[in-house]
Amino acid sequence: MAVKIRLQRHGSKKRPFYFIVAANSTSPRDGKFIEKLGTYNPLTVPATIRINRESALEWLNKGAQPTNTVRRILSFKGVLYMKHLMRGVALGLFDETAAKDKFEKWNAEHEVLVANREEAHRKHKSDKRHATTQESVRRVEEKEAAKAQAKVAEAEEATATEEAPTEAPATEGEAPAAE
């Protein structure tokens, strides 16, 4: 029986949510699975991933093959790096405490990177919202200024027509124009 670590889709239409599962490779995508390893929500920025690292590492050591997307997720969460370090321990390159120290150092750097990405996204979103608000305020102010300018122009025209000398009415002694 070949085991795959893959995504199992849940969620409604256009709102995906995935379980990360270890399943028989012949079972359907959303069908029977052996063990649930975690969850993956691609709609958040950055994507929310919760995974049981120990179980995933255990399945990888047993020979389970991750799909391409799950391989990226496992790499992002450090499971594949931990597997790499454990192989170094098995070969005698360093001891288990050194491997755990390396992983903890990598994990701390990774958490800072993820926090920076979140903050950058939050700042970008806030700046975009602020720019949109400023743009709409500017447009409203331009429209109001144009209306005020039109009213001033109208008032000037009205005063100009009232002040303009009207033609003097024809006097009785003048002859009407020849037709």
pLDDT tops 60 at residue 5: yes
Supply the pTM of this predicted model. 0.70
Q: Measuring CA to CA, how many Å separate 2 from each of 18, 29, 32, 88, 167?
A: 21, 15, 14, 26, 105
pLDDT digits (tens, 9 = 90+) for 41-63: 999 878 899 999 999 999 999 99
Token couple for 161: 């027509």
Q: Measuring CA to CA, how many Å separate 34 from each of 30, 41, 161, 162?
A: 12, 21, 91, 92
Token couple for 50: 């919760």
CA–CA separation, 61 vs 22, rounded Å? Answer: 13
Contact in structure between 88 and 103 (CB atoms under 8 Å): no
Report strand pairing: 17-24 vs 3-10: antiparallel
pLDDT digits (tens, 9 = 90+) for 112-154: 998 998 899 999 999 999 988 888 888 988 888 888 888 888 8
